[in-house]
């Protein structure tokens, strides 16, 4: 082959390879796009309300806020091949049982709850180096939970389980004043014959550097409405500022 022809052949081959690489990279970025996230939600749920939502017979639910999950704001089940392995969090087991219990299935294999959270949310969080293993993911959730210390905050503000009603604006004001950010608060709306909403979940938002931030959705961010808890026909939704708010101390109907 003549030198000139060889030069054009090499140039053509290189251009084709570069084009294929660009297309491949574009598809790769497109595939990963659903898994890119900007903030984390640390969700606490109130066990008594969780039991009220379920037809299951909850046995003595904890009387303190427990962890529901640590959720990136985008993506679900990002890596179905990365299976949950409870032995990887054996060093965390004591805290996991206390702070992250399966409220609905306390008598069954409680690891199923943790498996669900890992499969759905943990495999998406691993794009961050600080969360790129099961031990790191669950360990960081426990660390953030202890840092927030929601139970103590509410008690200091005089907000505790009671048969009386609270104003949601008072609860929001107490949390915002204490933490300096606006959390996301969800309630079980009143059923027929009830006059008050029941507080069920409080979520705190963090940046990828694990700094507290407002949970309000900014431009270009997704709002993970799919993270609302639903059990049977009952579902949590953003609390109303106008309805009386019930913070139940035990599972019972409250009219």
- Catalytic sites, residue numbers: 68, 117, 121
CA dist list (Å): 5 to 9, 15, 34, 38: 6, 15, 45, 51
Q: Are 244 and 163 in contact (CB under 8 A)?
A: no
b/e map of 128-142 (b: 16 or more CB within 10 Å)? beebeebebbbbbbb
E runs forming strands in 29-159: 40-45, 66-72
E runs forming strands in the chain: 40-45, 66-72, 165-167, 184-188, 197-206, 212-213, 230-231, 234-238, 244-246
């Amino acid at each position: 082959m003549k030198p000139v022809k060889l030069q054009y052949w090499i140039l053509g081959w290189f251009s084709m390879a570069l084009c294929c690489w660009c297309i491949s990279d574009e598809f790769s970025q497109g595939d990963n796009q659903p898994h890119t996230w900007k903030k984390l939600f640390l969700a606490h749920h109130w066990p008594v309300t969780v039991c009220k939502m379920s037809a299951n017979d909850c046995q003595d639910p904890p009387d303190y806020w427990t962890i529901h999950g640590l959720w990136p704001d985008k993506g679900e089940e990002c890596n179905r091949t990365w299976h949950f392995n409870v032995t990887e969090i054996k060093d965390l087991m004591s805290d996991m049982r206390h702070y992250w219990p399966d409220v609905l299935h306390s008598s069954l294999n409680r690891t199923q709850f943790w498996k669900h959270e890992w499969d759905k949310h943990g495999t998406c969080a691993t794009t961050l180096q600080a969360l790129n293993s099961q031990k790191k993911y669950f360990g960081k959730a426990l660390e953030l939970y202890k840092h927030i210390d929601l139970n103590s905050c509410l008690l200091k503000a005089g907000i505790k389980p009671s048969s009386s009603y609270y104003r949601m604006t008072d609860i929001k004001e107490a949390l915002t004043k204490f933490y300096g950010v606006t959390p996301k608060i969800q309630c079980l709306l009143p059923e027929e014959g009830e006059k008050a909403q029941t507080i069920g979940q409080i979520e705190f938002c963090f940046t990828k550097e694990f700094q507290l931030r407002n949970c309000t959705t900014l431009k270009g961010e997704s709002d993970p409405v799919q993270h609302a808890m639903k059990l049977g026909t009952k579902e949590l939704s953003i609390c109303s500022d106008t309805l009386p708010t019930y913070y139940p101390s035990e599972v019972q109907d409250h009219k």
